Structure 1
């Protein structure tokens, strides 16, 4: 059996110093990026490190410099294209600024979010970007702030925390989507979200929607419907579309009810795709039989027949803004906390038609 055990020990600072013919302290200054050395000595040390294949001990470096050079990012669902694109924006800014990124997925579960934050703080990250799964439960985030870890909230704000937040203009975006449907004569419009709930459960109070981004969208939807004279619009705000099977059940319950919706707004692109599949499975034609709008301009929305009208959220820019703000905090920015609201646009395609 072949032996895959390491053939030699890791290269140390002392090895690099010996090869470069300098003191260990001098080599450490060059490799650690601190202190002052001549250009000649720096070239000697970096050349020796390259030849020997030296890799820095990040833990030792963090103990010396007080920084780990890493940022922790906790998102709700990394399989959701919204969060994947956001992480890309965060990573691009972080890399340019010399930071690595450690990503954790909470699955929109508070316990997983808490465990991830504890782990990241234990890894001595220099700062955190977090999408809170429950905006009403923030003690663990307060604890992170209390131990001196800079924090930026992404996609969902918690005003009581008084930390920086980067979100979309969720209320305005939902109003815009609803008004677009209303302009085609739609009155009975359903709003479907992936927040936990029983099939047939509809929105009655804020406690059902712990994510402020979803709550703001529902508020915008209801405000637009109320302004259009639609009564009891909250009864068509449906929870529970957590996967394809549950979404199928939610759609079936909506279409079998009274009033039957002539249009559906999907709260995110994952729910949007599931709703579209459900409608196809039932043999319904979009938009002849029913219209649909989805949040987020995911790739799939352009290749369906018809292509889907979407609320386009500049998610990459939101990720960049969150990273820029966090790095400014890490570098000692002392400004008051700010809530950055990024505006959205509506991309009209072929999935909205006249109400029958």
Structure 2
């Protein structure tokens, strides 16, 4: 039975070669951007490709050249604007170097991270950038490294794993933020993070398997020690993994007989939920509660008052880690680099002495 629909014909390298009047091998060299041809022939082939609306078969090209021109990226939470800016830095840098990016989200879960890595390797990516969700189980990352496929880590370092890594000064940033609060007279301070543990109760750093979180808690605790904040009043709250969980944690904190007078949020997604709970309870920032958050998200500048933030240069982190990976992909042999990008604190209107604060 004959179909009335015309057969769709995919334009091939051979079609472009015939149109340009060159051999298929010559057309392939031009279209694959490898080998040497004259400028005239290159122009003829590219003109023929445009005329025929040639679209390269990426899978076939990767099988021929061994390269896909694609970088795989796995981040913890694409809802978090920090990762959004970092991925933009990666993609802009990759594009300018002739690479495309495939993005995957791990939701900060190790099994989802492993699955994402498997999918990306199946897509024949040339290299990977990963934000590891934890440091206990990194067999999948070691496998990538052993295979010779370039790998770089974004935002979180892994001890005893020598690959290119770009992070911020998490410990120092948390310590400086805490010092701002203790210098204002705060002695009941909470740090809220999305990292979770069985029972949702923090007891010591041995529970924490995410390097950036460990370093932030270390910085927070160190500043509390220096200021003489009693152990029972330096609270680390785990499990702010969803808006609902964050709201519950915040509500429970503010319902205590002696609630914290200040909170540091580990990211702007958590901070926004804290801000909402404070407003819903009829409280005010900073009169009733001081608030500092990691990451200068857009919303932090338009609230009343605007929020004091630890400004992490997320775009620069993404740009830097992509540059390191691309140098590897271009064949550069060098010892692995660990780059720590400094942060800054932007002081706005969300911190005040606890003397201003009413009983919550």
- TM-score of the aligned structures, taking structure 2 as reference length: 0.94
Partner of 1:114: 114
Shift of 1:248: 1.8
| Contact kept in structure 2, 1:222 and 1:234, CA below 8 Å | no
In 2, distance between residues paired with 1:43 and 1:183?
A: 67
RMSD: 1.7
Partner of 1:21: 21
In 1, distance between residues paired with 2:138 and 2:198?
A: 26
In 2, distance between residues paired with 1:169 and 1:265?
A: 16
1:101 match: secondary structure: strand
**CA deviations over 1:273-302 (Å, ceiling 9, x no partner):** 011111111111100011000100000000
Partner of 1:349: 348
* 2:56 corresponds to 1:56: yes
Structure 1 5/89 Cα, relative in aligned 2: closer, same or farther at 3 Å? Answer: farther
1:161 match: secondary structure: coil
In 2, distance between residues paired with 1:6 and 1:94?
A: 38
| Contact kept in structure 1, 2:85 and 2:315, CA below 8 Å | yes
In 2, distance between residues paired with 1:189 and 1:5?
A: 70
Shift of 1:226: 0.6
Shift of 1:15: 0.6
Structure 1 6/290 Cα, relative in aligned 2: closer, same or farther at 3 Å? Answer: farther
1:75-114 alignment runs, 5 A limit: 75-114=75-114
Structure 1 6/193 Cα, relative in aligned 2: closer, same or farther at 3 Å? Answer: farther
In 2, distance between residues paired with 1:202 and 1:170?
A: 22
In 1, distance between residues paired with 2:58 and 2:140?
A: 26
In 2, distance between residues paired with 1:252 and 1:354?
A: 22
Partner of 1:69: 69
Partner of 2:281: 282
In 2, distance between residues paired with 1:151 and 1:247?
A: 33
In 1, distance between residues paired with 2:103 and 2:324?
A: 18
| Contact kept in structure 2, 1:74 and 1:103, CA below 8 Å | yes
Partner of 1:213: 212
In 2, distance between residues paired with 1:293 and 1:233?
A: 20
**CA deviations over 1:234-274 (Å, ceiling 9, x no partner):** 85111121222211211122122354210000011100101
- TM-score of the aligned structures, taking structure 1 as reference length: 0.95
Greater displacement, 329-338 / 254-263? 254-263
1:139-150 alignment runs, 5 A limit: 139-150=139-150
Structure 1 113/319 Cα, relative in aligned 2: closer, same or farther at 3 Å? Answer: same
In 1, distance between residues paired with 2:173 and 2:235?
A: 18
| Contact kept in structure 2, 1:166 and 1:322, CA below 8 Å | yes
In 2, distance between residues paired with 1:266 and 1:6?
A: 60
In 2, distance between residues paired with 1:5 and 1:313?
A: 55
In 1, distance between residues paired with 2:6 and 2:351?
A: 62
Structure 1 309/233 Cα, relative in aligned 2: closer, same or farther at 3 Å? Answer: farther
| Contact kept in structure 2, 1:247 and 1:275, CA below 8 Å | yes
Greater displacement, 248-257 / 292-301? 248-257
| Contact kept in structure 2, 1:226 and 1:233, CA below 8 Å | no
Structure 1 5/142 Cα, relative in aligned 2: closer, same or farther at 3 Å? Answer: farther
Partner of 1:156: 156
| Contact kept in structure 2, 1:202 and 1:235, CA below 8 Å | no
1:176-255 alignment runs, 5 A limit: 176-197=176-197, 201-232=200-231, 236-255=235-254
Partner of 2:304: 305
Q: How many residues align?
A: 353
In 2, distance between residues paired with 1:249 and 1:207?
A: 25
Shift of 1:6: 7.3
In 2, distance between residues paired with 1:176 and 1:154?
A: 22
Structure 1 185/63 Cα, relative in aligned 2: closer, same or farther at 3 Å? Answer: same
1:289 match: secondary structure: coil
In structure 1, list runs of 5 or more residues that go unmatched. none
